[in-house]
Structure 1
Amino acid sequence: MHAGRDFALTGFDNVQDAAHSNPPLTPVDIRPGALGEQAASILLSRIQTPGQARQMFLAKSQLVVRKSTGAVA
């Protein structure tokens, strides 16, 4: 059995190794670096002002289609 031919395979985070696997893995990219930066910013803000209202951050995701889904990129 082969990913992309016999079954679809999708990953998460879009780590650099995903593009170099065989076949290249189709991931959902949530930009983990930007997500970490936002989390740190919210944490530092809460430390500075403990009584402030809760904050929520919604990360935009993007499907990066590669050969592991059988679709043409």
Structure 2
Amino acid sequence: MHRAAYLFLLSTMLLWGGNSVAGKLAVGHVSPMTLVFLRWVLAVLIMLPVGWRTFREDWPELRRHWLLVAGLGACGFT
């Protein structure tokens, strides 16, 4: 097994557990929309270095089907 797989599994567990703890601590102190926004910003900052090269390579295809991608993203978010 690759070491990277263990690293990704460990980071997933830590981020998921940390999200639960942070959510419980933030109740009453931070609005839910602010908490969701900050979670998405953190997710983008973590995922951007991982997928930036692929995103640039696939940009023409994504731009051509932007409406479908946006619709699928909206369905996944809601």
Q: TM-score, normalised by structure 1?
A: 0.33
Higher helix share: 2
Higher relative contact order, structure no. (Cα contacts within 8 Å, ≥ 6 residues apart): 1
Q: Which has the higher strand share?
A: 1
TM-score (norm 2): 0.31
